[in-house]
Amino acid sequence: MQELKPKIIFLGTPEFAVPSLLALIANGFKPVLAITQPDKPAGRKQELTPPPIKQAALQNEILVLQPPAKNDLAEIFLQYRPDLCVLVAYGSIIPKDCLNQPRGGFLNIHPSLLPKYRGSSPIQTAILNGEKETGVSIIQLVSQVDAGPIIAQKTMAIAETDNAETLSKKLAELGAELLIEILANYLAGRILPKPQDESKATFTAMISREDGQINWQKTAAEIQRQFRAFYPWPGVFTQISGQRLKIANLSVLEGNFSAKLVPGAIFFGPQGELAVSCGQGAVELKTVQPAGKKEMPGIEFLRGQKDLISKVLK
């Protein structure tokens, strides 16, 4: 007798969710339906753009629904009666009365080693805090955010060159791999979910544009981590003569060039580069973008602003 395939509904929205959807398809678990957020304006022209999950689902001939309100989900689940829902960065809270509708509940892939770094910015926070490793957790979804029992976890190292974009891609692939590793056993009831230790729970905050402002009192290493954590969004910036200066690329300068300078002071680096003193150490501003202008090498910006040396950034 041919084994019946589970009826799966996939919920997700951004690029981070795409590897998991494609992994399900490639391994014989093609969802009957993909649910994602409505199309939104994007780019300079603010053209209505479909989410990455919508594009991936349609390319694989999967029906897509984009309910404008989370209250519409209950009716969808009643209509399709899924055996399991897989949720990856959907972008909206699932109503409590929907959580038990699928026989197998909801599996959620979260990019941290729970209970550490619950919330909306686990990838950025891990980089900001200088963590050497992170990972993914697959949990059963419950009404409390990221608090469900753990099905499986997988750890990976954070490279010194990783930023939020590169680390997100790595964790998305890792989560997809782990999902396929555990899915058959989970559906067969051979995995016992493990409750999280609430005493070890930590939480991350939603990131805003203003979080990208550099505090030059911090160490050069901390500022570099801030740059990596907030690349590509929201990016990091500083203030010079009352104008915002975006820092498109920076690196830590080795040596004690800035020992006698106040934090934020601009000076020539050892190779004549645009450098800034920090609370401890200094950084080179490799690429900058002045307000209303295109990106340019820091040294070019320095040549065009001869009075910059000894100015203090805020």
Map tokens 């820092």 to a residue.
247
Average of pLDDT values for 98-118? 96
For residue 23, the model assigns a pLDDT of: 98
Please say if the pLDDT value at position 178 is more than 50. Answer: yes
For the chain, the structural domain boundaries read 8-204, 209-304
Map tokens 């645009």 to a residue.
274
For residue 260, the model assigns a pLDDT of: 81
How many angstroms separate the Cα of 14 from the Cα of each of 84, 87, 118, 167, 212? 21, 12, 18, 15, 22
Confidence of residue 306 (pLDDT cuts 50, 70, 90): confident
pLDDT digit string, tens, across residues 270-301 = 888 999 999 999 999 999 999 889 999 999 99
For residue 258, the model assigns a pLDDT of: 64
Which tops the pLDDT comparison, 223 or 242?
223
> Which of 105-119, 167-181, 220-234, 252-266 has the lowest average pLDDT?
252-266
Instruction: Using DSSP, state whether 183 is helix, strand or coil.
Output: helix
For residue 57, the model assigns a pLDDT of: 98
Of all residues in the chain, the percent with pLDDT exceeding 70 is 98
Average of pLDDT values for 9-34? 98
Contact partners, residue 133, CB within 8 Å, separation at least 6: 113, 155, 156, 157, 158
Which tops the pLDDT comparison, 285 or 71?
285
Considering the segment(s) 209-304 as one domain, its CATH architecture is Roll (3.10)
Confidence of residue 3 (pLDDT cuts 50, 70, 90): low
Confidence of residue 1 (pLDDT cuts 50, 70, 90): very low
pLDDT digit string, tens, across residues 191-210 = 999 999 999 999 999 999 99
Which tops the pLDDT comparison, 107 or 48?
107
Cα dihedral: 278, 280, 284, 287 (round 10):
-50
Q: Answer for the pair 35, 80: CB distance below 8 angstroms, yes or no.
A: no
Mean pLDDT of the chain: 94
Average of pLDDT values for 82-90? 97
For residue 41, the model assigns a pLDDT of: 87
Phi and psi at residue 168, to the nearest 5°: -60, -45
Closest CA to 245 of 199, 211, 295: 295
In the chain, beta strands by DSSP E:
8-12, 33-35, 40-42, 47-49, 64-65, 84-88, 106-110, 118-119, 133-140, 150-157, 203-204, 236-240, 243-253, 266-268, 274-277, 282-290, 296-297
For residue 12, the model assigns a pLDDT of: 98
Residues 164 and 49: their CA atoms lie apart, in Å, by 23
Which range has the top average pLDDT, 4-13, 65-74, 222-231, 240-249?
Answer: 222-231
The domain made up of 8-204 has a fold known as Rossmann fold (3.40.50)
CB atoms within 10 A of CB 239: 13
